[in-house]
A and B are shown apart, each in its own frame.
Chain A
Amino acid sequence: MDNTPILELRNVVKDFTTGGGFAKSDLFRALNDVSFSIHKGKALALVGESGCGKSTCARLITKIYEPTQGQILFRGKDIADIKGRQEVLNYRKSVQMIFQDPFGSLNPTHTIYHHLARPLLLHRMCENDKTKLRDRVHELLEMVELPALTAEKFPHELSGGQRQRVNMAKTLAVGADLVLADEPTSMLDVSIRIGVLDLMQRMKKEFNLGFLYITHDLATAHYIAEETAVMYQGQIVEWGDTTEVINNPQHPYTQLLISAVPDPDVRFADVVKGDEDYSSHAQHIRNLSSAKVNQIKRVNQNHYVRLLAG
């Protein structure tokens, strides 16, 4: 079997210029030394608080931004070299996104049929033939466990979970290899969240899709991803097999993050007693973790941790 990852980031750095105009312009390092790879049929969870740079990663991968340093390889080829119209179109077809807001990512004036038929035609995945298109749309809906009737409906007639399923059908329509899912379940109700995650799990196995699952929620990352990378202020502080990272966290920031996930079996009074001065403790860890460091240490087979600046 081919062992090249679908996508690989190698020591990617992204700087943004802030200010300018009349103000002094300054560089802000949004990503520092970010490396990870995503394989077929596997999911990598990128976990971190808002503003830590996880969505910037997705934007770099979709070629919305260009990295300041480092390389992004798609099937071994640097995406900076993808330039021709057809090449870019092919790349965009292979790498699809699912966004956080299922209410904003579908056009309210068009039916679901339109949303699924359009990518099929744009990417020439289906002949422009009414019956064939309709059959294919129904097939896609069936893949994401929606009734064929859904095709005639408008987005406002669907629930958040159903809309997110339509978005997944879109990625299947164009035959994507890699799906960048940016907080796809955070706006959904808890009881339907699992259903959507299970569908992602199935897509991963049946269609051999690679997933980059971007989230702030460790619990869902744990549920869906084989590998997890914990990000803080533009750096991946710890990464490796999900079970290893969650059950045997080494970096103080990962430990902080995991300890903050509510455990229903521990009363809050005991939680408070365990660490009376949580805020200053947390602040100390944040300060410690935010320094940019390029040294990394291997903990285990597939478990790495970034060193701390002293």
Chain B
Amino acid sequence: MSELSSTRPLLQVRDLEVDYLTSDGAFQAVKKVSFDIAAGEVFGLAGESGCGKSTIAFAVTRLHKPPALISGGEIIFDGTDVVKLTEHQLRDFRWTQIAMVFQSAMNSLNPVLRLEEQFCDVIMTHSNMTRVEAIKRAEQLLDIVKIPRERLRDYPHQFSGGMRQRLVIAICLALNAKLIVMDEPTTALDVVVQREILQQIYHLKEEFGFSILFITHDLSLMTQFCDRIGVMYQGELVEVNESQQIRHHPQHPYTQKLWSAFPSIHEGRKHYQPAADFTPELIQL
């Protein structure tokens, strides 16, 4: 890693303002939000629905559509201001620099196309690879997320929810993006599958060193997974700190309220004396 990039954060968001234009005037969904994400860092945005966290994710990738409008601020990614990019420049920027896993990622695959087509579509649109090279790359990506290569010929409905999520992550890795935005990547999955996916993301991050902007409403999960956390409330970033600080010394009353909104099941377990030491027997069927 060059010296420059280790001192300068990968992503700098400065005084970002996003408005939604409505018939009653502009509604400011994101109010003067500033934060940094360093290379290789996992940064979390927490908050409830409607607080603007997804709007930020869309703004960072410039995927927001009217009536949403970036009305102020800068999004500096590795030295370039994303807000000023033209449509043509954006095409080179997306996927190669920033990739995104959406909230309903399981449904973001096209149901009528084989996976092969979807991988090729992303790879060929955003790079100079030929179709043969693109398929080769797709096969490597499936290896990475531990899905058999031959399933590239399958359609999305032939995969389980967890597998589809892994496929979307594989597509995100296709062009070695430096930042992956994950908007509630595991919300629709059950906890065991959630853990499997996160563990895989963790290993991939260790291997490829990308940064993650991680968005979820689950503060426990976020504290575990992220290095630093920003808490959003009604469009404002009310608190930013290391995740352990957010956990043990939340400063803002809203952060404190969010913590008390979660019944934890682990508290009781730590001081519990099991009454019986017993395992279910195996029986021969």
Q: Which residues of A contact B (CB under 8 A)?
A: 49-50, 189-191, 193-194, 216, 218-220, 222-223, 243-244, 246-248, 250-252, 256-269, 271-272, 278-279, 282, 291, 293, 295, 297, 299-300, 303, 305-310
A191 x B257 contact (CB < 8 A)? yes
Cα distance A310–B268 in the bound complex, in angstroms: 32
Do A189 and B268 form a contact, CB below 8 Å, given A49-B190, A222-B263, A299-B278? no
**Shortest Cβ gap from B167 to chain A (Å):** 15
Q: Bound complex: CA of A102 vs CA of B257, how far in Å?
A: 24
Q: Which residues of chain A come closer than 8 Å to B195, judged between CB atoms?
A: 259-260, 271, 278, 282
- Minimum CB–CB distance for B272 against chain A, Å: 4
Beta-carbon contact of A307 and B220 below 8 Å? no
Task: Find out whether the CB atom of A243 lies under 8 angstroms from the CB atom of B280.
Answer: no
A260 contact set on B, CB distance < 8 A: 191-192, 194-195
Chain A residues with CB below 8 A from B200, complex form:
279
B155 at the interface (CB under 8 A from A): no
Q: How far is the CB of A191 from chain B (nearest CB, A)?
A: 5
Given contacts A268-B202, A268-B225, A278-B199, contact A262 B280 (CB under 8 A): no
Question: Out of A50, A194, A263, A267, which one reaches B220, CB within 8 Å?
Answer: A263
Q: Can you list, as one digit per residue, whether each of B245-262 has a CB less than 8 Å from chain A (1) or not (0)?
A: 001000000000110111
Other A-B pairs, 8, CB within 8 Å; known A278-B196, A300-B275: A190-B218, A190-B261, A219-B264, A246-B268, A279-B146, A282-B195, A299-B278, A307-B280
Q: Is B4 an interface residue (CB 8 A)?
A: no
* Interface residue? B91 (CB, 8 A): no
**In whole angstroms, what is the CA distance A262 to B194 when docked?**
10
Measured in the bound complex, the distance between the Cα atoms of B284 and A291 in whole Å is: 11
B153 interfacial by beta-carbon distance below 8 Å? no
Cβ of A308 and Cβ of B283 under 8 Å apart? yes
Residue of A nearest to B196 (CB): A279
Q: Are A308 and B191 in contact (CB under 8 A)?
A: no
The contact of B280 among A49, A219, A300, A305, by CB within 8 Å, is A305
Whether B191 pairs with A223 at a CB distance below 8 angstroms is no
Contact B258 A191 (CB under 8 A): yes
Listed by A's residue number, 26 A-B pairs whose Cβ atoms lie within 8 Å are A49-B190, A49-B193, A189-B49, A190-B218, A191-B48, A191-B261, A193-B261, A219-B263, A219-B265, A222-B265, A247-B268, A256-B192, A257-B192, A260-B194, A262-B218, A262-B221, A262-B224, A265-B266, A267-B224, A272-B203, A278-B195, A278-B196, A282-B192, A291-B285, A299-B278, A307-B281
User: Does B25 make an interface contact (CB < 8 A)?
Assistant: no
> Is the pair B281, A297 in contact by a Cβ cutoff of 8 Å?
yes
CB distance from B145 to the nearest CB of A (A): 11
Closest residue on chain B to residue A279 by CB atoms: B196
Evaluate contact between B247 and A300: CB separation under 8 angstroms.
no
A261, B194: Cα distance in complex, Å: 9
A250 touches B203 (CB 8 A): no
Q: Using Cβ atoms and an 8 Å threshold, which residues of chain A touch B272?
A: 243, 247-248
Alpha-carbon distance between A51 and B224 when the two chains are bound, in angstroms? 28
